[in-house]
Structure 1
Amino acid sequence: MIRSSVTISLVNEARGGPFVYWDDFEASCQKAKALGFDAVELFAPKPNAVPAEQLRRVLETHDLKLAAVGTGAGWVIQRLQLCDPDKATRAKAIDFIRSMIDYGGPFGAPAIIGSMQGRAAGAVDRDAALGMLGEALDELGNHARQYETPLIYEPLNRYETNLITTVADGVTLLESISTDNVRLLTDLFHMNIEEADIAAALKTGGKHVGHLHFVDSNRQAAGRGHMDYAPIAAALKEIGYDGYASAEAFAIPSSDEAAQQTINAFRQWFGA
């Protein structure tokens, strides 16, 4: 069964980015639960930004799960990425992601690698960048195994990376590395840009799909753009996807309205 999730950002440097709730973790959880969400996805500036004891208390109080933790603050705040030409800087990027794995892991929440994957540039050509990325995914995917959670890797659109932009290329990357503990994040916004057929791409992803960003074509809440969700829902059912559909969307017209729109769309397409 697909479960619902909504994003909460605590990263001031990402202000205006595609996150539904902002700043107040406990108040956001209270609102998410009132609307009927199953979980929240946390975008935090660093591990323990919400101390583990508080995180556990708030989630238990509101009967919510932690769907995933983002690592993008490593790029937004510290400019760390996995394809940096400097080995020491790459090591710092890996250490930051490892710390986020250790933060979310005890809650059963995988860490997401999106913007921290980096890109080919300057002295680092595409082959070299993919080699660096693959090595990091191997190391971090194996690290996540101790928590019985996968590592989540996100193909991005062409304006955000020049490495992996499609699900098919993501599958090729995952099948080229040693670990079997990395899954793909299929983000409908990025897919709307890069995929000729989103439903077909999801089928290509198949068993490799580990997380879904449930959002519309304009990065607003599902139902506020021109996305056709019927074939997407059918494809997810066909591949047996039973993870989260998480709203990584702009707070337009407001956080509350975006969250309400998302849960309405979730119930329409996933029947819960």
Structure 2
Amino acid sequence: MNKLGVHALVWVGGWSHAEAIRAIEQTAALGYDLIEIPALDPTTIDTAFTRKLVEANKLGITVSLGLDGGADISSEDPEKVKKGEALLNDALKVTRDVGGTHMCGILYSGFQKYAVPATPRGLENSVDVLRRICERAAESGITIGLEVVNRYESNVLNTAAQAVDFCQRIGAPNVKVHLDTYHMNIEENDIEEAIITAGKYLGYFHIGESNRGYLGAGNIDFDKIFRGLARLDYQGPITFESFSSTVVNPQLSGILAIWRNLWEDSRDLAGHARDFIRANLKAAREAQKRHG
């Protein structure tokens, strides 16, 4: 059975104690299994407070982040690679200390638009760093998820096939593909087959709409998405991700170009997403049982 999660930015823009309480308690109240917290700056997260809070609310927790241009491990600049590895190690410590099961996101390059393709040397740097990160993560039972994003957010992994190849190059048992319906809708030729392509490497899944708003209110073919998950018999986490100018994070909102107010009621949005995901998963699995 998949654990269902929600991204913290549905609730709050930062991670002060008050924000952490609101996000975690609201997530638990709606019956979600886990919350995903962003850690672009790991120093902003009070790990002891967060862990105590998620445990009190019987929630699981995952951590996500993207590297910035000055900490890009896919660079040929050794200083940038060094800074990137240090940031990943800091985020990994946060993931461990909050009791997280997964550290996901754009962990392999800068979270930015590139003007040139990735270089072979840069890709090798990324593989080398992530191999070490995976080894450290394994000591704490943490899965590393490489999020496949669109071409405007990275020049390294834009398709499921690329991510599978990258995982194979890293060669660690705890490195997985992290797919996201928003990005798949932009880059994949066939979103259902992309899920099948990820296969055994698929370890984390983001559900989001084409406009980042309410599920079903955009143009993503969710029938194909859920059919692909059912065909694969995917059992990992599924996390709802949505953004609106109603909730602002000083770093993420600008990078993601969240200029429009797509929703105002976080609770209604998250409750709708929970029901939407559960219903579509159920329908797809029942269809798979009957038709194979």
Shorter-normalised TM-score: what interval? 0.7 to 0.9
1:260 to 266, 271, 274: 271
Task: Check 1:120–1:267 CA distance in 2 against 1; reply closer, same or farther (3 A cut).
Answer: closer
Task: Check 1:60–1:169 CA distance in 2 against 1; reply closer, same or farther (3 A cut).
Answer: same
CA–CA distance in 2 between the matches of 1:21 and 1:244?
21
Pairs within 5 Å for 1:93-242: 93-106=84-97, 107-114=99-106, 117-118=109-110, 125-242=118-235
CA–CA distance in 2 between the matches of 1:141 and 1:45?
19
2:78 to 83, 87, 92: 87
Q: Secondary structure at the match of 2:214?
A: coil
Contact 1:110 1:151 in 2 (8 A): yes
- The letter of the residue matching 1:217 is S
Q: Secondary structure at the match of 2:37?
A: strand
Q: Please give the root-mean-square deviation of Cα atoms over the aligned residues, in Å.
A: 2.4
CA–CA distance in 1 between the matches of 2:12 and 2:230?
28
CA–CA distance in 1 between the matches of 2:30 and 2:115?
47
TM-superposed CA distance for 1:27, in Å, is 0.7
Q: Secondary structure at the match of 1:40?
A: strand
In the superposition, the TM-score normalised over structure 2's length comes to 0.81
TM-superposed CA distance for 1:53, in Å, is 2.0
- The letter of the residue matching 1:202 is I
CA–CA distance in 2 between the matches of 1:79 and 1:264?
40
State the number of aligned residues: 259
CA–CA distance in 1 between the matches of 2:48 and 2:165?
39
CA–CA distance in 2 between the matches of 1:124 and 1:204?
23
* Poorly superposed stretches of 4+, deviation over 6 Å: 119-124
TM-superposed CA distance for 1:4, in Å, is 1.1
TM-superposed CA distance for 1:117, in Å, is 1.4
Task: Check 1:199–1:88 CA distance in 2 against 1; reply closer, same or farther (3 A cut).
Answer: same
Q: Secondary structure at the match of 2:71?
A: coil
In the superposition, the TM-score normalised over structure 1's length comes to 0.86
